[in-house]
Structure formats: C-alpha cells, structure tokens
Amino acid sequence: MLHCPATVLLARHGQAAYEATTWSDEGGSLTREGRAQARSLADRLHGRRVAQIYASTMARAVQTAEIAAARLGVDVTTRVGLQEFAVGDHYAVERDTDPFAETFARWLDDDLSLRVPGGETADEVIARANSVLQDIADAHPGETVLVVAHGGILTIAIRNLMTFEPGVRPKQFANCAFAETELRGDGWRLTGWSDPD
C-alpha cells in the first residue's frame, strides 16, 4: 500500500516575556509582538489545509498554537515531549547570563553526549523529539500539521534527524519561523524553510 507522508511544519513560538528573573522550566507568556507573530504565522499557513496543531506544554508555545489554531479553524493538542531542554542545575539562577551557551555550542559541534548539569544530553533531547514527531507524523498520513515548540529542541532535532533536500539548509529559528519536514520511508527530510515576513 502506498504511504503518503505527513508534512510536519516545525515552528518556534512567538516572542515571549518572562515573569521571573531566574531560569526555570516554566513560564514565558507572549508579548504583544509575540501575539502578532502567531497571527502572522497562521496567515502564512492559510491555504495549506493544516489538519491539526501540536504544541509543547510550555505557555509560550501553547499561546502561539492557540492563536494560530483560532485563525486556521483547527484544534491544539499539547505534548510534553516537545518541551524545551530542561534547565537542570541552573534552575533559580539569575537570567543575567546564558549558562547554556557553551553546552549548546558543543551540541552543535556534535558533542551529543554532553549533559546540561542536572538536565539532559543532546542525545536525550533528540530521542524524545524523534519519538513525539514520529507519533505525530504516523497519525496524519497525507496531511499537513503544525508543531509549535522551542528553538533549542527544534534546532538540535533538525540537525540530527533530518536529511536536507538539495538547496535547503536550516537557519537560526526566529520567532514563528518554521521548517517544513516529511517523515519518509528512509527517514526525516527537511524540505523547506520559512522565516517571518
């Protein structure tokens, strides 16, 4: 039987503000600009016949997904596996610096076994992203779905799960940018990239 792959659009949430001055695995609500970005994301997808939206359980992703869903007339389902990588031992540390920059840079250099202290390795982030994205793709053969998550998990997943179609390369995830992907018989493919206007 011919299998029609799902088109899975992987989007970063809109711009967010954080109520706490310390790092945590919660929080972050869309700013006015973030809400406008979410509306623009939906407008860019108008006519794509998006069947369903999936989102990380984090508020900034849920809010982005709900704004887009209202404009597209579809439902939102949250999935824990789409959350951003955990802050680990940096929980409650002041946000005046980025304690993840060095670790993330080493992840991008393929040091995938390196762990955020008290948190996850890149290998673990990739495995949970792959699991939930495969479930989503398998549930929507021949359909287009939108997944709203976070810059870190999406960047690491795309770089390590995807084969890139000719002429298509991943970029840095701006707020409400999205990558177009398909899960084919030979694995994940990155087939396109859309930055916000």
Residue type, 132: V
- Provide the angle, in degrees to the nearest 10, between the axes of the packed helices 151-161 and 101-108: 20
Number of neighbours of residue 85 by Cβ within 10 angstroms: 23
- β-pair partners for 78: 55
- β-pair partners for 76: 53
Tokens found for residue 148? 């709203």
| Predicted TM-score (pTM) of this structure | 0.94
pLDDT over threshold 90, residue 165: yes
Lowest mean per-residue pLDDT among 72-81, 91-100, 160-169: 91-100
What pLDDT, in 10s, does the model give residues 85-144?
Answer: 998 988 888 888 888 999 999 999 999 999 999 999 999 999 999 999 999 999 999 999
* φ/ψ of residue 11, rounded to 5: -115, 145
DSSP conformational letter for 128: H
| Residue 60 marked ligand-binding | yes
Say how far residue 1 (Cα) sits from the centre of its chain: 31
Name the CA radius of gyration of the chain, rounded: 16
Residue 176: pLDDT band with limits 50, 70, 90: very high
Percent of the chain with pLDDT over 70: 98
What pLDDT, in 10s, does the model give residues 50-76?
Answer: 999 999 999 999 999 999 999 999 999
Residue 1: pLDDT band with limits 50, 70, 90: very low
* φ/ψ of residue 102, rounded to 5: -65, -45
Pairwise CA distance, residues 85 & 53, whole Å: 21
Domains detected in the chain = 7-194 (3.40.50.1240)
